[in-house]
Amino acid sequence: MKIIVALVCVVSVTLVDAGQKCTGSPRRYNGKNCASTTNYADYHKGACGCGPDNNDNQFGWNHDHFVAAANQATFDRGGAGWCGQNCGKCVRLTTTGGFVDGQGGYVPEGQTHTFMITNLCPDEWPNLSWCSQNRNNGYRNSYGYEWHFDLEDGAGQVASIGWKGKNPEVTWEYVNCDGHEHLTPTNGLYHQCFCGRNGK
């Protein structure tokens, strides 16, 4: 009986301490670049201008679809804070089964969802721990990642896939926005944005 109890303990400790799976520089897993993720919710149109021109509101889809704020280095290499060169690009995120100890929780490996970049997570307070990747810190945030995606959960869409508050470590790659799950904004939706209409 004691042996069985001890085994159960070892198994559960292993699951809880999954830790980070990505290794190397840049951090990679399964041959792909890794990123950290978090989630947020707001009502602003964001740094790609995905809302009406005459106010700071969001288009509905920029609140309830799979959209993300990318760290500054990913949003725009040159440091632009508006209409970054990667506005409207889509990133396919796949969970590794890892997370940062003390900053999230376990999500099983292999869950894939595609998010459109519609906002910037700036390299400034209060975003420094996740979104600061620059020359002074070796282009890595406080947890070692070169890339970060802060996922909009305005309508509970991140909660609905079980990622809310878990901040799963993911691998990521750029993909075409069209042809994914219905919560991924299409290229057509991006062309409603100020930056999309202005060729950025």
Residues annotated as catalytic are: 42, 150
Distance CA 117, CA 109 (A): 23
Stretch that binds ligand NAG, among 47-55, 57-65, 124-132, 180-188 (CB under 6 A): 124-132
Closest CA to 183 of 83, 104, 68: 68
Q: Which is nearer to ligand NAG, 142 or 192 (CB)?
A: 142
Q: Rule CB under 6 A: say whether 35 interacts with ligand NAG.
A: no
Distance CA 189, CA 44 (A): 17
Question: Collapsing DSSP states into helix, strand and coil, what is residue 148?
Answer: strand
Q: Rule CB under 6 A: say whether 121 interacts with ligand NAG.
A: yes
Q: Rule CB under 6 A: say whether 149 interacts with ligand NAG.
A: no
Among 20, 72, 86, 127, binds ligand NAG (CB under 6 A): 127
Closest CA to 46 of 125, 133, 129, 116: 116
Stretch that binds ligand NAG, among 21-29, 44-52, 123-131, 175-183 (CB under 6 A): 123-131
Closest CA to 29 of 180, 143, 174, 173: 173
Contact positions vs ligand NAG (CB under 6 A): 38, 40, 121, 126-127, 130-131, 150
